[in-house]
Structure 1
């Protein structure tokens, strides 16, 4: 099975695990892109959600914070939006199947390296391979969110179209670009209202 297919299947399974009693209160699905021990060879995706109740709580507890921040900034997300419901990708502890598939594909692409390869690869070569793996994974996550919209999975589970908010813990500035690329425009209008790039073009 291709790694991409595995990620799609696991994402759909994760959405189905969202608590049924909270479905009507969920206003966003969250995709946190990260890696094990900050190693780009081991990228993973934590899929979760945020609710209206949690956003209201965060706003009430942070009186000096703008409403947008408490609603859309991942720094204010509860555990359900940070740790998520399930971790998928190259995280052997949480997704051993995905880990094996990702490693196999990285080997085939000539991007994988082991610790013992450090004597053969320069630091620059290791960095280049790591950057390529990280970029591939980000693109996969954006495409995964887009497909969840297109194939009806999100609406089928949540009963209505909702935005998927993507954020990369190693490149926070990409949050707006990734989320814009992954969602129908009408679903992310409020979220993108604080996009510095869009504001600079006004």
Structure 2
């Protein structure tokens, strides 16, 4: 099994871990892209969701955020959306199989590096590993749509929001690339690069 196949399998199976009875209230699946110690060798995906009930709770608070912020800004996501329900990727504690596969493939591709390697080698390889993981996450979200996993799990298509708290500007481009346009129109309405935003 390849790292990509492992990620695909784990991502699809994680949808089955969403709590039963919430299906009608889940309006988005969340992909938080992160890395242990912000090291591109140790990228992982925290997969989760957010619900209409959570948005309603936020909007009912005395100092409520703006509606778009309550719905789409990860700063307001509950643990199910921010921390996720499953961590997948090169994370030794939460996904040892994924960690093993990722290291094997990075070594085979000549992209792994050690702490004592020259800094320019580390930088060059990190510049390939980081975007490569982002592209993989976009592809995983596309597959959830194309293969019908989201509809099977939730009864309807929902957007997958991809975000990286250390590169917040990337969330619009990643989310746009990962979803059918009609599912992310509201999310993209706040994209500073979009006309009329």
Q: Normalising by structure 1, what TM-score?
A: 0.94
Q: Distance in 2 between matches of 1:62 and 1:83?
A: 25
Aligned residues, how many?
197
Residue 132 (structure 2) aligns with: 136
1:20 aligns to what SS in structure 2? coil
Out of 170, 176, 182, the position equivalent to 2:178 is 182
Q: Does 1:157 align with 2:153?
A: yes
- Closer/same/farther in 2, CA of residues 142 and 62 from structure 1, 3 Å limit: farther
Post-superposition shift, 1:110? 0.7
Residue 199 (structure 1) aligns with: 195
Q: Normalising by structure 2, what TM-score?
A: 0.96
Q: Could you tell me whether the CA contact under 8 Å between 2:28 and 2:50 is conserved in 1?
A: yes
Residue 41 (structure 2) aligns with: 41
Q: Distance in 1 between matches of 2:60 and 2:106?
A: 46
2:34 aligns to what SS in structure 1? strand
Post-superposition shift, 1:97? 0.3
* 1:146-193 deviation line (CA, Å, top 9, x unaligned): 011001111011110000000012211010000000000000010000
1:61 aligns to what SS in structure 2? coil
Q: Distance in 2 between matches of 1:109 and 1:196?
A: 36
Q: Could you tell me whether the CA contact under 8 Å between 2:25 and 2:53 is conserved in 1?
A: yes
Q: Distance in 1 between matches of 2:165 and 2:96?
A: 22
Residue 24 (structure 1) aligns with: 24
Q: Which runs of 5+ in 1 are unaligned?
A: none
Post-superposition shift, 1:143? 0.4
Q: Distance in 1 between matches of 2:45 and 2:32?
A: 6
Post-superposition shift, 1:59? 2.3
Q: How does 1:107-146 map to 2 (within 5 A)?
A: 107-115=107-115, 118=116, 121-146=117-142
Q: Could you tell me whether the CA contact under 8 Å between 2:33 and 2:163 is conserved in 1?
A: yes
- Closer/same/farther in 2, CA of residues 124 and 59 from structure 1, 3 Å limit: farther
Post-superposition shift, 1:62? 6.2
Q: Distance in 1 between matches of 2:47 and 2:124?
A: 27
Q: Does 1:86 align with 2:82?
A: no
Q: Is the helix fraction higher in 1 or 2?
A: 1
Residue 9 (structure 2) aligns with: 9
Post-superposition shift, 1:61? 2.8
Q: Distance in 2 between matches of 1:158 and 1:172?
A: 27
